[in-house]
Amino acid sequence: MRLLKHGETACSCKGDSPLGWGRKIRGRLVDSAHRRFGLAAPWVQRHLANCPKCRQRLAGVVKVDLALSVIKSQPHRLDLLMRANTAAIRMLSHQLRQTEAADRLKEAEPQPSLAQRCAGQQNAIVNVAACLAVLMLTKAGIFTSLDKARTHGDAALKQYYTDRAGEDLAGEVFKS
């Protein structure tokens, strides 16, 4: 019985590389196993309803999960890294303390990763990408339809001239 961690999904669909495919397949397998043997499975639910020992175990696991989430959700102050670096650099040799890198570290602030920075704008980026995709598809569709209409129109006109004025004249008119 595996509980999902906070932010973790049973199905991981990241990328389309061979590695991504592997992950996808593994994610599906995990998902399937979770449905059959996980908490959501009916036989587990039935068992839990009648077994106080398992219920207690599950409650314990959930409490641990909750406590871990509480620990992770408590942020530290922004200047903690700066203070920690300053304290650690103070213990290093004089030569190291005088370097430019040490000075920069004394003023360092935690920098969120690119993924974290993009997390807030994720929805907006996805929406823009979806709009662009729709626009491109529409544009491609419209142009293809226009092209088709023109070709068909040309063919119909040529046929008309061929019927009325003869093939030679029609060939001359539609030569270009």
Partner 1 sequence: MFDRAIKYDLLWDGSAAEAVQESQRWILTAMNRYGHELVTLLWRILGNEQDVLDAYQTTFLHLAHLDGGRKPCWVKAYLFRTASNAAISMLRQRTVERKTLSSITPAGEVPASEIDFDAGHLAENLRSHIAQLPEHLRNVILLRDLGELPYAEVARIMGVSAGTARVYRCKAVQMLAMWVNDEENR
Contacts to partner 1 by CB under 8 A? 2, 5, 56-57, 59-61, 63-68, 70-72, 74, 76-77, 80-81, 83-85, 87-93, 95-96, 99, 101-102, 104-105, 108, 110-111
Q: How far is CA 66 from its chain centroid?
A: 26
| Residue with smaller CB distance to partner 1, 41 or 81 | 81
| Residue with smaller CB distance to partner 1, 110 or 153 | 110
Task: Read off the tokens for 9.
Answer: 């999904």
| Residue with smaller CB distance to partner 1, 13 or 137 | 13
The SS3 of residue 27 is helix
The SS3 of residue 113 is coil
| Residue with smaller CB distance to partner 1, 68 or 131 | 68
Task: Read off the tokens for 100.
Answer: 């430019």
1: Cα within 13 Å, side-chain hemisphere: 14
Rounded CA separation 12/43 (Å):
26
CB of 20 to partner 1, least distance (A): 16
CB of 83 to partner 1, least distance (A): 6
